[in-house]
Amino acid sequence: MGTKRIVITGGPGTGKSTLINDLIKRGYNCLEEISRQVTLKAKKEGIDQLFLTKPLLFSELLLDGRKQQFADAKKFGNQTVFFDRGIPDVLAYMDYIGDTYPQPFVDACLESVYDTIFILKPWQAIYTSDNERYENFDQALKIHEYLVKTYENYNYQLIDVPFGTVENRTDFILKTLNM
């Protein structure tokens, strides 16, 4: 059987981290988003928006972190592990900004295959910006398109999570997985 790796993805401000937090609260194994950690570390080093000023470096750091998370999931044995974003997210964001990336980015997507991908559509009612999230809602819509395209390019069937309360969205994910 092995470890089941489940990704919850979507553009900025779609409720991914809120769902992950609800799954954690319910006792599920989750690996949280790492981009805020990378962004905050860069800010401490004097780089205000690493993704905007050095997108390839930022993306390399994210890729390394997400590859490590993929490997770390084995520690959970034959259990399900939820990820707040997956490796293909890195490529989708690079495509979104129109930047190129080296072959190891593609290789990482081919070598690290997830079991199920849930995607959250941009939802204006819950969208907010903050110090680490610089995108506006229109940009979030475009990022969503790039995420869909990238995951589909790697032969994933995306499962749309319907709008609703956090509890209902979490229940939808768990029911879909027969958990």
CB atoms within 10 A of CB 171: 14
How many whole angstroms separate alpha carbon 161 and alpha carbon 10? 10
Q: Where are the domains of the chain?
A: 4-174
Q: State the pTM of this model.
A: 0.90
CATH superfamily of 4-174: P-loop containing nucleotide triphosphate hydrolases (3.40.50.300)
CB atoms within 10 A of CB 46: 6
Give me the sign of the Cα torsion angle 138, 142, 145, 146: negative
How many whole angstroms separate alpha carbon 50 and alpha carbon 58? 6
- In this structure, what token pair is assigned to residue 122? 């941009």
pLDDT, tens digit only, all 179 positions of the chain = 689 999 999 998 899 999 999 999 999 999 988 887 777 777 787 767 766 677 788 888 899 999 999 999 999 999 999 999 999 999 999 999 898 999 999 999 999 999 999 999 998 887 666 555 567 788 889 999 999 999 999 999 999 999 999 999 999 999 999 99
Element (H, E) at 43: helix 35-44
Planar angle of CA 57, 63, 67, nearest 5 degrees = 150
Q: How many CA atoms lie within 13 A of 24 on its CB side?
A: 11
